[in-house]
Amino acid sequence: MGAQKASVQNASLGSRYVVHLPTPDDFAFWRERARALIQCDVPPDRVSWVEPGGTGDLFAQEGPSSREKRLPVPDADAPPVRASKRFMKLARNAALHSDPERFGLLYRMLWRLQSNPRAMEDKADPDVRRIEELDKSVRRDSHKMHAFVRFREVAGEDGAAEAGEHYAAWFEPDHHIVRANASFFMRRFANMNWSILTPCGCIHWDGKVMRESGPAQRSDAPSGDPVEDLWKSYYASIFNPARLKVGAMLSEMPKKYWKNMPEAEMIPDLIAGAQAREAGMVAAGMREERQQPGTLTAVADAIANCRDCPIADCGTRAVMGEGAPGAALMIVGEQPGDQEDMQGRPFVGPAGQLLDQYLTRTGIDRADAYVTNAVKHFKYVQRGKRRIHQSPQAKEIDTCRWWLEAERAAVKPRVVLALGASAARSLLGKTVSISKARGKPAMLEDGSELWVTAHPSYLLRLEGDAREKQAALFEADLTAVKSRLLELAA
Ligand code: URA
């Protein structure tokens, strides 16, 4: 990888063109050249695609011919090149595969799509099947990179941590996926200085700028530091013996990655102890046995690394609750929104501002409460530049529930106020109707009281009389909570 100049040498070898890719993952470059070649009516068997250090195909080994000439330039009125959305989506990934024939395959398919725009729909077609295989294998490799990169703190010369804390991770991808996944790590570890070192090139982030450098070796990456302890206790806490399937685990987490993962050394022991632990769990009638992190700081660290459900890959970061550690009142919303995701704090966007108004109006001081959400990541769909909120599904709420329980165990509130149906589901473990549940506190298993009301964003969506009516109910619910807090404090 590295900042290689886009040296494009297009030659005709006899009747063939040779296109030299500047880097093995440059899909945009391939697309531009492929479009021009198709517009000039150059059939697939007259083009060789060569990546740096590679041969592309047998014909390309002949080397540039003395009759070298530039790629043909299409006429200004050449017909546009047709490619289905599905092809483009798969091709973007397939281009990152390590198969040296991938660019030729993609060009052949693009060529075929010009005369048969529905060619991608034929599932039995060998080209379609191969492109799907490449796409799948690249997606899998990216998933492994997201899941198995482990940062270790880089020590200075005397063994002390470097000023400014720099973290580095070693990873061995199967395909050319490193640059394509840089933005994932940039979003997830936005405020850290980090490097991901790989045998095919490295990426470095300093909190502002992404840099690239050439290949590294395993020995360039640090090994062993306090971050490992955090990973180990996190991994031990999420390891669920009742769900252990060794075969599936090995296929999901091949041994190749184990050496980079501090928690991997615990796997044999965890597997060995799994049966006994499972029996213990069943005996204790527990659905899941996890050791909860005891302090809010430990919960925050663990949540930041949680990948228990797909939403974890959606937003910028996990948004932890905030507020007084021993607060008598815990306020639980649904999930962070756009503003919360950007700022990393709960209820700071429009719904948060409305909530603040009603808290003030009913005499509840937000600074005395602990404010959090049922789900810790922002779930959305991108529409143009806007990120549109998507409600979490029941299974996502249930997966994230464990974190809310960890926060409750650390804060020990006496009153919990659920804003909306998602929060109520998380706290009660079942779906309830707000209109039926509001106004009557329910006892939670730790002895705290649960009060349920509407979500402030529901009020924001209403207008006129409907909004006035719901706002009055909301205010009444908050007033009741305030009275109860006064009673409990007396
Ligand atoms: N909506 C929520 O439920 N929580 C937030 O933090 C913001 C909006």
Closest CA to 52 of 3, 109, 107: 3
State the Cα angle at 414 between 408 and 415, rounded to 5°: 90
Return the exposure string of 256-288: e unless at least 16 CB atoms fall within 10 Å of the residue's CB, then b.
Answer: ebeebbbbbebbeeeeeebeebbeebeeeeeee
Predicted pLDDT of residue 60: 41
Predicted pLDDT of residue 461: 96
The single-letter code of the amino acid at 259 is: K
Contact 97, 175 (CB under 8 A): yes
What global pTM score does this model have?
0.49
Strand pairing category for 449-453 and 442-443: antiparallel
Predicted pLDDT of residue 7: 32
Please report the atom of ligand 1 found closest to the CA of residue 457: 1
Distance CA 66, CA 68 (A): 5
Predicted pLDDT of residue 256: 64
Predicted pLDDT of residue 292: 66
Closest CA to 334 of 466, 452, 186: 452
Distance CA 486, CA 484 (A): 5
Distance CA 173, CA 198 (A): 7
In this prediction, the residues of the chain whose per-residue pLDDT falls under 50 are 1-13, 56-69, 158-163, 225-227, 230, 234-235, 237-238, 275-276, 278-289
Residue 142: how many other CB atoms lie within 10 Å:
19
Q: What is the Å distance from ligand 1's center to 336 Cα?
A: 4
Please give the helix or strand (H or E) that residue 471 lies within, else none. helix 464-489
End-to-end, the C-alpha distance of the chain in Å comes to 67
Distance CA 302, CA 315 (A): 17
State the Cα angle at 439 between 433 and 440, rounded to 5°: 85
Q: What is the Å distance from ligand 1's center to 376 Cα?
A: 10
333 pocket-lining for ligand 1 (C-beta < 6 Å)? yes
CA distances from 77 to 42, 80, 372 (A): 17, 9, 58
Q: Is the dihedral of CA 402, 405, 411, 415 positive or negative?
A: positive
Dump pLDDT digits (tens) for 38-63: 999 999 999 999 998 765 443 444 44
Closest CA to 421 of 403, 438, 434: 434
The single-letter code of the amino acid at 91 is: A
347 pocket-lining for ligand 1 (C-beta < 6 Å)? yes
Distance CA 340, CA 289 (A): 31
Which of 342, 358, 373 to mutate to test ligand 1, by most ligand atoms within 8 A of the CB atom? 373
- For residue 200, the 8-state DSSP code is T
Predicted pLDDT of residue 13: 46
Predicted pLDDT of residue 316: 83
Contact 317, 339 (CB under 8 A): no
Contact 153, 227 (CB under 8 A): yes
Helix spans in 212-349 (H): 226-238, 246-252, 267-284, 296-304, 338-343
Which of 455, 460, 461 to mutate to test ligand 1, by most ligand atoms within 8 A of the CB atom? 455
- For residue 263, the 8-state DSSP code is G
Predicted pLDDT of residue 294: 74
What domains can be seen in the chain, in order of their start residue? 2-144 (no CATH), 149-220 (no CATH), 227-287 (no CATH), 294-489 (3.40.470.10)
337 pocket-lining for ligand 1 (C-beta < 6 Å)? yes
Q: Is 469 helix (H, G, I), strand (E, B) or coil?
A: helix
Distance CA 233, CA 265 (A): 12
Distance CA 130, CA 132 (A): 5
Predicted pLDDT of residue 23: 94
